[in-house]
Structure 1
Amino acid sequence: MPNISEILKDKTEIKLGRKTEESSEPEPDDEFSFTLEEEAVNESEDLFAANEELLAKIGELESKFPKIEMMVTNLRKENENLRGDIQNINENFQDMMALYEVVSNQINPFIGISKITATSMEKVEMMENESRNLKKRVEELQNDVVILANVYLNTHQIDLDGVINEVLAEENSPQHIRRGFR
């Protein structure tokens, strides 16, 4: 694909070439035509100089284009990084607001319940229900252990009250008390 500077050069050469062809034709020798011819030459030289200047500027811009492309790529990367940072800040802010609402609702009874607070309250209620269920299970297990211990003691004919009294008697004996003070 030809660049802009090549296209402009071709057009300039074509225009200048036409003028020179036209000037090769015989012209009348009057003073007016000579002045017009001089003005046309001056104009074509000015256009040629302006064209050369434009070609130089276009070449300069073409050389800067890769640098500009690199800068745009870097700016896009930085923009993506900033978007990620802003997203993190937004998430942190939402977490802080949820915490603020929970604390505010516990302290200020006039603040209504929001969705976040309602969700937190549901979680707390679920934990309380689980705690109650665990307490019931522990009590049931304790009762089961007592029943199993009674069954075991009855099947082996062990007098638990007698064993307890013997142990207490040994602890209160004078020999045991003396050993404890040494």
Structure 2
Amino acid sequence: MSTDEKKYKKFITIVSIVIPIAVAALFGIKIPNVEPLSFLPPIYASINGLTAVLLVASVIAIKNGKRKIHEQLNTTAIVCSALFLVMYVAYHMTSDSTKFGGEGVIKYVYLFILITHILLSIVIIPFVLITFMRARLGNFPEHKKIAKITFPLWLYVAVTGVVVYLMISPYYV
């Protein structure tokens, strides 16, 4: 393992632990006397949708041999995911959580999608970063191996983020 790879892996480990803990901790913090950022959910849901489109376009680009476009699309998808995270945390630090109002089977469908979305959004962090690192270091055989796992997981998280928003949006106050 190269020195660069060791540095990246240490960074990836720290980020993969700190982000979920920080997000969980920030959920318990409400900023007093601040106007709720209630305009953010449709924006960050749209960013999730854009991330999904970028990921699909990225796969199409690499299958067509367009490595530079593939790299640019994935870098943009990472930036979108980071923007989503900042807006999501900002919203929840200024606004009360919205409760899903559906009943019966649809409530269980919503909860399944929500729970898998949350769990995989935690799991996907190291996958995305390791996949990105392997490409940056030019280790394309290993990049390709993990990308086959990363892509569907990340796409699922991006798409279900939109689905969760669409399902809960009628219940925003």
Same fold flag (TM > 0.5)? no
| Structure index of larger Rg | 1
TM-score range, shorter chain: under 0.3
Structure with more relative contact order (C-alpha pairs < 8 Å, separation 6 or more): 2
Q: TM-score, normalised by structure 2?
A: 0.26
TM (norm. structure 1) is: 0.25
User: More helix per residue: 1 or 2?
Assistant: 1
